[in-house]
Amino acid sequence: MQKLSLLFTKDGLQYQISKNRNVSEEQSFFVTEETPENDIVDQLAKVLTNKNIKEIAVFSALNHFTLMPEGFSQHDLGYDLIAYNAPVDRENEELMLSVNKKFGVQFYYTFPKNYYQLIKDLNVATNFNFSGEKFLNTINPKNQKEIHINLYHNQCEFFALNQKKIVLYNNLDVNSEVDFLYFIMFTLSKIGFGINETQFLVYGETTENETFISELRKFVKNLKIVYDNIPKKNFILNAQ
């Protein structure tokens, strides 16, 4: 039985086809100024024509989200809560919920309805999830101050944790290493994390973002690359 894993980011789509955890096919599509307007939808439609797919896992890293304590049940407020962080188009965005019991939090996030409908129309067993929940579920913090950074193509998400408690989560669209560095260092100053006392752990597209990492090393004392995406090894798509 083949499984299709889809990862949607700010400007792209990444997918893997696997069987028994062995990846047989993998590809990425990223939007540029020359890319046709509906390219991601068209690429998704092509991927979904594979008749051997019997299971689908969908991960959204789109930064339309809000983080709430687990058990918050006023789901009708989901769109309004997300709108504090990003503009929301209720007509074209599906409201989703992702719960992380490990840390006692839940994410409301929106997912484009045109993507959602294409996937649902297949009538294949599908699980939708938010990348932040998947990321959070794979980390094992210690009793210290930590910044966990997951790098994408022109995007990053990060958690700040103190004594295994979530202090902050953010998901940023950024276009340069300077942007990455500014947001991370700005966050430290706002939450009172000292550079020398904070452990930085980095995951994902570390090779693509090598300049950011080398610049970060100039400022921080404790930095560790935990996971580097290589062919057929995508952090979010492969993490169990």
Domain assignment present for residue 103? The answer is no
d(CA 57, CA 40): 17
**Can you read off the two tokens belonging to residue 150?**
């997951």
Question: From the CB of residue 190, how many other CB atoms can be counted at a distance below 10 Å?
Answer: 11
Is 198 inside any structural domain? yes
Domain with 207, as residue range(s), is 137-225
- Let me know if residue 210 belongs to a domain: yes
Q: 170 in a domain, yes or no?
A: yes
Structure confidence at residue 226 (pLDDT) = 96
Residue 215's CATH number: 3.30.420.260
Residues 161-201 pLDDT 10s: 999 999 999 998 887 878 888 888 888 999 999 999 999 99
Which residues lie across from 126 on neighbouring strands?
56
Residue 22 maps to a domain: no
Residue 71 lies in a domain: no
The Cα 125–Cα 105 span in angstroms is: 25
Q: What is the chain's mean pLDDT, rounded?
A: 93
Query: Tell me: the pLDDT tens digits for 115-164?
Result: 999 999 999 999 999 999 999 999 999 999 999 999 999 999 999 999 99
Please state whether the predicted TM-score (pTM) of the whole model is above 0.85.
yes
Provide the number of structural domains found in the chain. 1
Inside any domain, residue 56: no
Segment 218-223 long-range contacts (CB within 8 Å, at least 24 positions apart): 219/181, 219/185, 219/195, 220/195, 221/195, 221/196, 222/196, 222/198
> What residues pair up with 182 in beta bridges, in sequence order?
none
Instruction: Check whether 240 has a pLDDT greater than 60.
Output: no
Structural domain contains residue 181? yes
Token reading at 166: 């979530």
